[in-house]
């Protein structure tokens, strides 16, 4: 799966001259958290967030009238509060690599550029949706977590055992175990008897760490 498969295409944008008031109204009306900032040629020049815009707004302790607050907000522009050093990704980047970029830089979204043109935006919410889908969140199936050695054929043994019992794997995720030589596998399985599968796995010497059913 690539960034282009889950990004929001043609995102809403503002310009550096957009007032903070208008940008904040837009971001709240559209119910999103990030706004790419583009120049008159559509080139990405920055990004701002709801948090940036709120922090830039006059504070209640300033004892200003509502008229004064609205006036200040209308005079302050996005260009004054936006982030100019924007980290971007290509639409053809694998989505897990985009997630790694977000984690490494501690950011919540990535504008997507193709040939220096803004074509989309992908957020941490989009990544969470992929995570939930990949692990079968919300699906009514048996979830089994097993620990297997980091060796060729270890995962195949688990999959083959499930298939031999007529089970269908709905989703599967692999994670590092507590020891570097282990892998933790979370599997959502359907159309197989729970006790029969657990007994078969244990008989094959496969460590079952956790079992959960909705």
Integer Cα distance of 208 and 175 in angstroms: 15
pTM: 0.82
**Closest C-alpha among 45, 51, 43 to residue 16:** 45
- Which residues, other chains included, contact 22 with Cβ-Cβ below 8 Å and sequence gap of 6+? 14, 74
Contact 111, 180 (CB under 8 A): no
Question: Domain coordinates of the chain in residue numbers?
Answer: 3-131, 136-212
**pLDDT digits 0-9 by tens, 91-132:** 999 999 999 999 999 999 999 999 999 999 999 999 999 999
Report the CATH number of the 136-212 domain: 3.30.70.260
Q: Which CATH class is domain 3-131?
A: alpha beta
Question: What is the share, in percent, of the chain residues with pLDDT greater than 90?
Answer: 82
Condensed to tens digits (0 to 9), the pLDDT of residues 9-60 reads 999 999 999 999 899 899 999 998 999 999 999 999 999 999 888 877 655 5
């Amino acid at each position: 799966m690539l960034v282009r498969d889950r990004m929001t295409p043609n995102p809403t944008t503002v310009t550096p001259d957009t007032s903070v008031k208008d940008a904040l109204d837009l971001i709240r009306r559209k119910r999103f958290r990030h706004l790419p900032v583009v120049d008159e040629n559509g080139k990405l020049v920055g990004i701002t967030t709801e948090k940036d815009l709120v922090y830039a707004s006059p504070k209640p302790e300033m004892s200003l009238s509502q008229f004064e607050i609205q006036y200040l907000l209308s005079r302050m522009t996005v260009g004054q509060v936006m982030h100019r050093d924007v980290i971007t990704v290509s639409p053809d980047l694998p989505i897990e690599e985009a997630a790694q970029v977000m984690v490494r830089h501690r950011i919540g979204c990535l504008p997507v550029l193709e040939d220096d043109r803004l074509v989309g935006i992908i957020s941490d919410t989009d990544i969470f949706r992929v995570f939930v889908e990949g692990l079968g969140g919300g699906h009514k199936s048996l979830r089994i977590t097993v620990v297997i050695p980091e060796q060729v054929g270890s995962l195949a043994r688990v999959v083959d055992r499930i298939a031999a019992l007529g089970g269908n794997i709905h989703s599967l995720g692999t994670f590092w175990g507590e020891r570097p030589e282990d892998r933790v596998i979370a599997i959502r399985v359907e159309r197989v008897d729970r006790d029969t599968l657990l007994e078969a796995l244990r008989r094959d010497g496969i460590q079952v760490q956790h079992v959960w059913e909705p």
